Amino acid sequence: MSISSTRGWSWGFALAVVFFATPLAAQQRQGDAGVTFTKDVAPILQRSCVTCHRTGQIAPMSLRTYEEARPWARAIKTRVAARSMPPWHIDKTVGIQEFKSDLSLPDKDIATIVAWVDAGAPRGNPADMPAQRDFADGDQWAIGKPDLVVTFPALKVPASGPDLFPNVTAPTGLTEDRYVKAIQTRPIDAKARQVVHHAITTMLPGGAADADPNANPDTADGGGAQFIIEYASGKAPEIYPENSGILLKAGSTLSLANHLHSIGEEVTSQVEVGFLLYPKGEVPKYIRYSTHHGDPTPSAGDSLDIPAGTVARVDGYTLHTKPGKIIAWQPHMHIRGKYQCLELIYPGNPSNVMRRETINCANWDYNWHSVYNYQDQVAPLVPAGTVIHIVSWHDNSTGNRHNPDPKNWVGYGDRTIDEMGFSWIGWIDLTEEEYQKELADRNAARQKNTSSTQGQN
């Protein structure tokens, strides 16, 4: 949970909040009969916030104690009530709501925090304060302590200038093939996080001696690099379902394609990638894929058209020729991004009527390129012939406070001030038999739950 984006927080407002405090004695009296920090709010922060909001982590302030949290009371209320913090932007009124590592606060926790601030943010009885969470070394990684960490060379980002797109390489050090079941990419510190717009990791063909950091991961004959993972600002780890993963080859070298953006001061950017690995010799049943879906069609360069002062919609379509299962969704836009939806257009039935289903929609915050990993039992099943439809809205008006120039037209481009509108989709292929079996199993489970519910009524 991060109260501020890593870009552009107003520290003047922060100082103003300090003077919101009521006298301590009055706070204590208010807390005797109502919501208090020690009894009610601290447990929420310990559970949902301090992973980031502690010294040395991504958030700009610590919230582990009353003294640390009290100056931010109003900001905390504003951000949690708007559901912009913790950073979980799924629209809760649309589609699937069962995800792995769901960061969102339950309604009751939001109500507790709001009531605490409205009561004057009382401390409460110090004896009610929960014990501070202990964080082992591995806890700095959201996936737990990695089995393998690959650290790429550091890069200098000047205080100002055009966006930079350097590629760097680093060996994995693996002496045998290993399959991956979870990956986390992270810049080494808060400043590096601010300058890294995205970083794409690929595995290069050949060994370290002849590795080409500019190898093309889309080479059709397989002679190019193999895509491993994409990172963008604030992205959470990718967690693969049981018995699925990707291969890291023995003796392989990884390439990191960086997009770096200046922030007004010189920064050293360095990125590391952590892997959780399957045991030696274990090969998962399914290969996990991740690719662009729904780039604006027919051509992103031609069809991403956002006039000055407007909110514009763009659509993109990707056909799946094989049956499969979507295991993760990650919207991707730039500063003017506002909202995005994932829709499935299923192949025609015997009456030749196509059926559409909105799987999810999400609000957009450029600082948090969140990946939403579906719970295994609800991961969308995709029959062969399904079209994945991505709908993106961009706000190029003065109503978008992050908009650098609402007076100018914006189109497609790699720079931060340009725009994009697509989704990264993680999926696994299924055979037709596997697809039909899982579909039948889910329908049977749904009918059983329905019968059980009706019996209770």
- What tens digit of pLDDT does each residue of 157-192 get? 999 999 999 999 999 999 999 999 999 998 988 788
Contacts of 219 (CB under 8 A, 6+ apart): 225
Strand, coil or helix: 33: helix
How do the domains of the chain map onto residue ranges? 11-135, 142-284, 289-437
Strand, coil or helix: 356: strand
Judge whether 345 and 356 are in contact, CB under 8 Å: yes
* Residue 314 in tokens: 């763009």
Strands (E) across 376-456 are located at 381-382, 386-395, 421-429
- In one-letter notation, the amino acid at residue 436 is Q
* Residue 133 in tokens: 């969470």
pLDDT computed for residue 30 by the predictor: 41
Question: Is the pLDDT score of 193 beyond 90?
Answer: no
Candidates 317, 268, 237; CA nearest to 153 is 268
Higher pLDDT residue, 209 or 387? 387
Q: Is the dihedral of CA 209, 213, 218, 220 positive or negative?
A: negative
Question: Is the pLDDT score of 14 beyond 60?
Answer: no
Question: Is the pLDDT score of 324 beyond 50?
Answer: yes
Alpha helices in 199-318 (DSSP H): 300-303
Question: Is the pLDDT score of 138 beyond 90?
Answer: no
Q: Mean pLDDT across the stretch 336-346?
A: 96
pLDDT tens for 376-386 read 999 999 999 99
Q: Mean pLDDT across the stretch 88-114?
A: 93
Candidates 2, 16, 21, 15; CA nearest to 119 is 21
Rounded-to-integer distance, Cα 163 and Cα 263, Å: 10
Q: Mean pLDDT across the stretch 404-411?
A: 93
Phi first, then psi: give them for residue 414, nearest 5 degrees. Answer: -80, -20
Strand 324-333 and strand 372-373: pairing?
antiparallel
Q: Mean pLDDT across the stretch 242-262?
A: 94
Q: Mean pLDDT across the stretch 366-373?
A: 87
pLDDT computed for residue 11 by the predictor: 30
pLDDT tens for 428-439 read 999 999 999 999
User: Could you tell me which residues are beta bridge partners of residue 329?
Assistant: 372, 425
Question: Is the pLDDT score of 15 beyond 50?
Answer: no
Length of the chain: 457
Question: Is the pLDDT score of 314 beyond 70?
Answer: yes
**Do 142-284 and 289-437 share a fold?**
yes
Judge whether 159 and 140 are in contact, CB under 8 Å: no
Strand, coil or helix: 79: helix
C-alpha distances out from residue 234 to 77, 79, 229, 332, Å: 21, 17, 14, 12
DSSP summary character for residue 365: -
Phi first, then psi: give them for residue 320, nearest 5 degrees. Answer: -105, 115
Contacts of 254 (CB under 8 A, 6+ apart): 150, 152, 169, 170, 171, 172, 201, 202, 203, 204, 228, 273
The rounded mean pLDDT for the chain is: 85
Query: Model-level pTM greater than 0.85?
Result: no
Question: Is the pLDDT score of 8 beyond 80?
Answer: no
289-437, CATH topology level: Jelly Rolls (2.60.120)
Contacts of 249 (CB under 8 A, 6+ apart): 174, 177, 203
What proportion of the chain, given as a percentage, has pLDDT over 70? 85
Judge whether 424 and 330 are in contact, CB under 8 Å: yes
pLDDT computed for residue 369 by the predictor: 85
Sorting pLDDT into bands at 50, 70 and 90, what band is 366?
confident
Judge whether 117 and 77 are in contact, CB under 8 Å: yes
Question: Is the pLDDT score of 147 beyond 50?
Answer: yes
Judge whether 366 and 402 are in contact, CB under 8 Å: yes
Which of 81-85, 317-321, 380-384 is the least confident region?
A: 81-85
Higher pLDDT residue, 213 or 94? 94
Phi first, then psi: give them for residue 210, nearest 5 degrees. Answer: -115, 20
142-284, CATH topology level: Jelly Rolls (2.60.120)
DSSP summary character for residue 40: I
Rounded-to-integer distance, Cα 415 and Cα 120, Å: 44
* Residue 64 in tokens: 């582990």
Q: Mean pLDDT across the stretch 5-17?
A: 32
pLDDT computed for residue 223 by the predictor: 53
C-alpha distances out from residue 84 to 125, 298, 401, 454, Å: 30, 33, 15, 37
Phi first, then psi: give them for residue 14, nearest 5 degrees. Answer: -60, -40
Q: Mean pLDDT across the stretch 113-142?
A: 85
Higher pLDDT residue, 240 or 27? 240
Q: Mean pLDDT across the stretch 325-333?
A: 94
Q: Mean pLDDT across the stretch 268-293?
A: 94
Higher pLDDT residue, 455 or 390? 390
Strand, coil or helix: 295: coil
Rounded-to-integer distance, Cα 225 and Cα 216, Å: 6
Sorting pLDDT into bands at 50, 70 and 90, what band is 28?
very low
Higher pLDDT residue, 179 or 355? 179
Candidates 279, 278, 298; CA nearest to 288 is 278
Higher pLDDT residue, 308 or 28? 308
Judge whether 203 and 226 are in contact, CB under 8 Å: yes
Side-chain-side CA neighbours of residue 217 (13 Å): 18
pLDDT tens for 45-81 read 988 888 888 887 777 889 999 999 999 999 999 999 9
Rounded-to-integer distance, Cα 292 and Cα 423, Å: 6
| Placement of tokens 């790699």 in the chain | 414
Higher pLDDT residue, 212 or 53? 53
Question: Is the pLDDT score of 349 beyond 90?
Answer: no
User: How large is the angle between the packed helices 73-81 and 11-18, nearest 10 degrees?
Assistant: 120
Side-chain-side CA neighbours of residue 7 (13 Å): 20
